[in-house]
Chain A
């Protein structure tokens, strides 16, 4: 009996917590200095947009595949997702026990299709990097050693373990939860990170930043945490589905 009460209590507390946060938040864009700047300027403008408060959960993704048969486990084509697609689900139509965990084992194509079905899209790399600089109170906390150590502590956690439910930690300045700590996240232009370029007009300065020596000489740990993300993204292919890689969606603002 007590066991059941605990379960009900947990369910209530987690649903209350979820209800308390909006599904998505508006991000007021600004110029920021990207890790990988344009050739001609240090700052890039990120326009206003909206973003999901949380990473997409298994239960949300299940609702999507139920109405989009092409994306069900067992139906998806090899071009769009590799063989470990949704392999952590107990069954192709069940997420029992992992409802509120971020969905993982999803490919870039699957993530895009999900967001498209919500009239959204994947965030661009600039958008994701822009919002991920914030801590609880500041738009840009990357100058703070403690913040950077917090980020790096997640990146250095060994993979393969159990992934926690969303919404167990506080929101950042924008009202976004779980940018760090649970999963890595797909971005639309994941395949732009490392360039083996022969466009010699433009590439050399940036390329030198990416080859080992220069990157490891980066001035501060902020650069190193960001470098980790770029290196990770560059290792991906659009059909890959990984244990610790999920996503959230972004939305263009409706023109008024």
Chain B
């Protein structure tokens, strides 16, 4: 019985942390040092932690096939979402637009914004194209990705996004916006909605300035 307790406690803390996220997270994020001083070459073998090693096949809102590795060479701001979600997902796109707007001119020019759907059945490439228009996103900079269930599960796992289909076409999920360096290594992230974007923007500007 004694060994049950630590697990349970961790779990309870998990709930607790969740409840206070809006207060705690920005403080934590600002404390974390921005570790982008060394820019690795963006050719040759990928770093061991690069998510661009995932081999899943994706399709964009313009029906173009794509591997994640094709994002190599520039910073990427990525989040997962589903199109028929009426509350959290528009907010996550709005948060990403705030990042886009706050980025330095250099970062603004080079950064890609990527949205990966949990719901390949409903969010077909054509449906994703409609979202691009609906949210008035610059298709040169914003990419929606449609993939198979296994590829989605993989990318969620390396971004630490948890999700579950709670009823047909409705998903519960973690809200995370993640910054990837030009080699696809997770640099920093924003947890939750309507959080301050400054720490992530600072890291982004640094990467864009260096690369």
Contacts and interface: CB of A to CB of B under 8 A. Distances in A.
Contacts of A157: 3
Given A79-B158, A198-B87, A206 B50 contact: no
Contact of A201 (B158, B168, B170): B170
Contacts of B104: none
Contacts of B175: 196-198
Contacts of B50: 79
B88 A211 contact: no
A71 to B, nearest CB: 13
Interface stretch (B13-21, B108-116, B198-206): B13-21
Interface of A: 36, 38-41, 77-80, 108-109, 121, 155-159, 188-203, 206-207, 210-212, 215-216, 228, 231-232, 234-235, 237-239
14 contacts: A78-B49, A109-B154, A189-B164, A190-B157, A191-B162, A196-B174, A197-B88, A198-B175, A201-B170, A202-B167, A203-B166, A212-B12, A231-B11, A238-B158
A192 B163 contact: yes
A77 B10 CA distance: 29
B88 A237 contact: no
Interface string B1-39: 111100110111011001001000000000000000000
A216 B86 CA distance: 32
For chain A, what secondary structure do more than half of its interface residues adopt (helix, strand, loop), or is it mixed? loop
Contact of A195 (B3, B86, B160, B163): B163
A36 B164 CA distance: 10
Interface of B: 1-4, 7-8, 10-12, 14-15, 18, 21, 48-51, 53-54, 85-88, 91, 150, 153-154, 156-158, 160-168, 170-175, 192-193
A193 B162 contact: yes
A231 B167 contact: no
For chain B, what secondary structure do more than half of its interface residues adopt (helix, strand, loop), or is it mixed? mixed
B4 A228 contact: yes
B157 A231 contact: no
A232 B3 CA distance: 13
A125 to B, nearest CB: 9
Given A198-B175, A206-B166, A79 B51 contact: yes
Closest 10 CB pairs between A and B? A238-B157, A78-B48, A192-B164, A39-B167, A197-B172, A211-B15, A195-B172, A198-B88, A212-B12, A202-B166
B48 A79 contact: yes
A196 B18 contact: yes
Contact of A235 (B7, B51, B158, B164): B7
A242 to B, nearest CB: 13
B85 A199 contact: yes
Given A79-B53, A188-B150, 16 more contacts: A79-B158, A156-B4, A158-B3, A191-B153, A191-B160, A192-B162, A192-B163, A196-B162, A197-B172, A198-B91, A199-B170, A201-B87, A203-B172, A231-B11, A232-B7, A235-B11
